[in-house]
Amino acid sequence: MEIRGKITIVLVQMGTPRSLDVQSVRQYLKAFLGNRRVIDKGGLLWKIFFYGFLLVIYPYFSLRKYQKLWRYKGISEGNSEKLSMIEDTKRLALKMHRNLHAVTEGRVSVRYAFLFCSPTLQELLAEKDSGSKLLFLPQFPQYSESTTAFIVDEIMKGFQKRVNIPCFEVVTSFYDLPEWSSYIAKKISTISALSARSKQTEVLILSYHGIPRAQAEIKRDLYIAHCEASTLKIRELLQDRFLLVLQTYHSKWGRGEWVTPSLQSVIEEIVLMKKYGKVSHITLFSPSFTVDSLETQIDLECDVGEFMRKHGMGFTYVPAIGADDEWAHAYSEWLLRAYIGVVLFLITNSGGLSMPGYNDGIIWKSVELIANRLF
């Protein structure tokens, strides 16, 4: 059996406004909030509100929040490429490309694309030589209609313009990947251990991006179950490192009911606990993203940090795993093992390439099954 063509792995993110001005923010909000996967509303009244009010007023409000983050990070206006959403996605793709391209003798490449800024997913899908197999990796560990399903819709939209559609696959979640939860626990422990705080007075909050309650309960979005499973595993790996490990949701938008508990309500309760000497420090991390979104950085790193310091509380924000070397390596190894490894290493080379674990008897017996699945 011969390998036909090459595999292109595509890391997909939502993206950011193209620049720091009202028009760019308005275009970003129109594309994002105007999608039914994000806000499931329609009809004449909604359109009047959306186009006549929200897109007129809200861009100014959002722009002030983005400017706050730009100032906090020391980024010059218009230089959005320096935001972690853009920069870390590029760096992660480059590191994974180097890992996989070299070890597969050029048969696997890694690229990245965004929905709302360049390079866009549609631009990539329009390329004729994008690969004979495309493996899409939405950079959201937990499945959600607002993110993963949105990306799948955009993939199918891009393929509508093509005559010849390549073999493709979408990894819809990876919250249950041991390498992911293990690295998160390690990163939290490492950053937390940099200080001499007592674990008896430190609380860890794992805060996920919120979704409307109707999306979770009526539409039965898998997101909440995936979040709870993520928290359970991370808490288990951290063992007794913290006094408490709590789960919350942040970034509520609009007046409707959203899933609870909210991050704001929990940190207000923690401030009250400080009066009794029970808690003196919180560590905050969001497992919803591999790279922190604009809203996450503003709502968590900036706003919560200011609130906690204002009330005399210690505060540590743990950034997303981003493009950390160890994560890039673990991510690459998982892809080799789960999707492309045995096909590229064993079928075309009787002895295989030098990769520990790939000459295993069980893996060898799985070669034909996986090859048939992929090709």
167 within a domain of the structure (yes/no): no
The span from the CA of 7 to the CA of 5, in Å, is 7
C-alpha distances in Å from residue 79, one per residue of 21, 75, 302, 320, 326: 11, 7, 19, 21, 28
pLDDT of residue 366: 47
3-class DSSP state of 178: helix
C-alpha distances in Å from residue 133, one per residue of 67, 119, 128, 165, 345: 40, 20, 12, 10, 17
pLDDT of residue 371: 46
pLDDT of residue 349: 46
How many helices (H) does the chain have, and how many strands (E)? Answer: 16, 8
Opening angle at CA 300, ends 118 and 316, nearest 5:
120
Count the domains in the chain.
Answer: 2
Tens-place pLDDT, residues 270-307: 988 876 677 889 999 999 999 988 778 888 988 899 99
H/E element, 142: none
Rounded to two decimals, the pTM is: 0.85
pLDDT of residue 80: 52
The span from the CA of 212 to the CA of 258, in Å, is 4
111 within a domain of the structure (yes/no): no
Collect all residues with Cβ–Cβ distance below 8 Å to 110 and sequence separation of at least 6: 8, 9, 10, 11, 93, 94, 96, 97, 100, 101
Choose one of 56, 82, 108: the last residue of a domain. 82
375 within a domain of the structure (yes/no): no
289 within a domain of the structure (yes/no): yes
103 residue type, one letter: V
CATH number for the domain including 256?
3.40.50.1400
62 residue type, one letter: S
339 within a domain of the structure (yes/no): no
27 within a domain of the structure (yes/no): yes
293 within a domain of the structure (yes/no): yes
Choose one of 317, 333, 367: the last residue of a domain. 317
Choose one of 297, 317, 337: the last residue of a domain. 317
Domain boundaries, position 47: 17-82
3 within a domain of the structure (yes/no): no
Write out residues in the chain with pLDDT < 50, as ranges.
1-4, 342-343, 345-375
